[in-house]
Amino acid sequence: MPQPDPAPAVSVAFDQVATVGEGSFWSARRDGLYWVDIPGGKLHFNRPTDGSHKVWDLGRPVGCVAETEAGGIVAALTDGFWHLDPDTGDMRAMGGPAPGTVEHRFNDGTVDPAGRFLAGTMGLTPEAAERGEGTLYRFDGTEAVEVMGGFKTVNGLAFSPDGKTAYVSDSNPAIQTVWAYDYDVDDAAWTNKRVFFECHDWPARPDGGAMDSDGCYWMAGVSGWQLLRITPAGKVDMEIPMPIEKPTRIAFGGPKRDQLYVTSIRVDAPDQADSGKVFTLSLPGITGVDLPLMRI
């Protein structure tokens, strides 16, 4: 499998430890990385240039977050969508579904090219996952619309640089598949579903997705110690070994968007003392695409 030569140096970016680190994206406005600890209900922000760190306790598990055009944060929590003012810490309810039960919660999310927040849910128990009750929602700030259902674990949401292709995965061990759709930005329609990449022959399952400026899809290979870069044709053209078993999501950051930041899950193992932290690496010539801002 193609690997960069020389292999990139992977290092710990920040010292904070999450139980399940996820939801990362780079904020151009604040010049730093937002990311969450899902079960801990924490939103973190790290600015690499000055080493500063801030954390907000959201009070309940958080699946994913998005930054608004005005600089606020919209968080998908167990009791629906909430708005956070990161400067004051004030929170207000915005509505939407409340999937937080012993069986369900929000998981992965992204923002489409028109500024709509997309957030998907997952089953927390084997019984809930087997029923396929995971759902992808679209939220415009006032109303949440069900886009599609039938998932065990919604994951891997991303859009191609031109906004014409949407990606979504199901990371449940029984599925392990990434799909591509034609996407109509004007009416938010997902059509022409096709298999983009299957992970059954790989050690990793598909977790969070990200796009680079070449239109390649980056997959965090949870449980597989790796990151994969997949071309628009669905072929792996780069495999990056990771020092931890469970990387969860990739975000491109830094002034030139040429730094990869990778969240992870905490694993209780002697050889993974840094698991649960955010890692960083860079690859010459590869830059990422910013997540759009949410319009509300």
Q: What is the pLDDT of residues 160-214, one digit of tens each?
A: 999 999 999 999 999 999 999 999 999 999 999 999 999 999 999 999 999 999 9
pLDDT of residue 127: 84
Catalytic residue from among 37, 170, 207, 212: 207
To the query of whether residue 207 is one of the catalytic residues in this protein, the response is: yes
DSSP run (H or E) holding 109:
strand 104-111
Q: Annotated binding residues for substrate, as ranges?
A: 105, 107
Q: How does residue 252 score in pLDDT terms, banded at 50, 70 and 90? A: very high
pLDDT of residue 269: 82
pLDDT of residue 101: 66
Q: Inform me whether the pLDDT recorded for 141 exceeds 70.
A: yes
43 token code pair: 């939103």
The whole-angstrom separation of Cα 165 and Cα 150 is 20
Q: Annotated binding residues, as ranges?
A: 22, 105, 107, 155, 207
Q: Inform me whether the pLDDT recorded for 1 exceeds 60.
A: no
Q: Inform me whether the pLDDT recorded for 148 exceeds 90.
A: yes
Q: Annotated binding residues for a divalent metal cation, as ranges?
A: 22, 155, 207
pLDDT tens by residue, 64-78: 999 999 999 999 999
What does pTM read for this prediction?
Answer: 0.95
Strands 247-253 and 236-241: unpaired
Is the Cβ–Cβ distance between 30 and 44 less than 8 Å? Answer: no
Closest CA to 65 of 95, 107, 96: 107
Q: Which one of 3.30.360.10, 2.120.10.30, 3.40.50.300, 3.40.50.720 gives the CATH number of domain 11-282?
A: 2.120.10.30
pLDDT tens by residue, 88-122: 999 999 988 777 666 889 999 999 999 999 999 99
The whole-angstrom separation of Cα 81 and Cα 142 is 9
